[in-house]
Amino acid sequence: MDPITEREIRASFVNCSKGEASRLGLPADFADLPWADLDFLGWRDPGAPERAYLVAERDTRLVGISLRASGGSARGFASRSMCSICLTTRTGGGVALMTARRTGESGRQGNSIGQYLCTDLACSLFVRGIKTSAVGGDLDESIDRSSRILRAVANLQGFLDRVLTP
């Protein structure tokens, strides 16, 4: 992903108001992000942990979506969940159901799309092996790194398709 500015990020949001986009908290490490290793920018709001944001390139433009993370999980520490973007399995709350309000009239009527995502939204780092699941949750896959990256991008685009489809 090419580096993007705060202004570009705030202007990219499609499922929240301009006021909401102007008030969202950016990642604390925004100035030091590893842009070359990111397929999308994802982060949890430092001032509102139940809020998360995702900005991705789509059809030559940036698309940002606001997400709401589910509250805690009743599942135990040893229970594993899989992120639907990077296919990393994690325990101890490393994956959560996140919902995005749909765009257009459907979103105004309260319709949303849910997806299980890494709680830290570090999918790009997981598929590259830069970050690993601390409890050995990574799959031993037979496909190469490039194929894992392409699969994660396709999974992300599929999620965006569902959010953006009226």
Residue 47 has pLDDT above 90, yes or no: no
Query: Hey, where are the domains in the chain?
Result: 6-164
First to last CA, the chain: 27
For residue 139, what pLDDT band results from cuts at 50, 70 and 90? low
Q: Global pTM?
A: 0.89
Cβ–Cβ contacts within 10 Å for residue 65, how many? 25
In this model, does residue 75 exceed pLDDT 80? no
Burial of 77 (C-beta count, 10 Å sphere; 0-12/13-18/19+): exposed
- Give the separation between CA 95 and CA 52, rounded to whole angstroms: 13
Of the listed ranges 98-107, 120-129, 132-141, 148-157, the least confidently predicted one is: 132-141
Q: How far apart are CA 55 and CA 138, in angstroms?
A: 25
Q: What DSSP element (H or E) covers 23?
A: helix 18-23
The per-residue pLDDT for 141 is 74
pLDDT for 114-135, tens place per residue?
Answer: 999 999 999 999 999 999 876 5
Instruction: Give 25's DSSP letter.
Output: P
- Alpha-carbon gap, residue 8 to 17, rounded angstroms: 15
Residue type at position 112: S
| Rg (alpha carbons) of the chain, rounded to whole number | 15
What are the structure tokens assigned to 4, written together?
């993007």
Distance, CA of 95 to CA of 102 (rounded, Å): 21
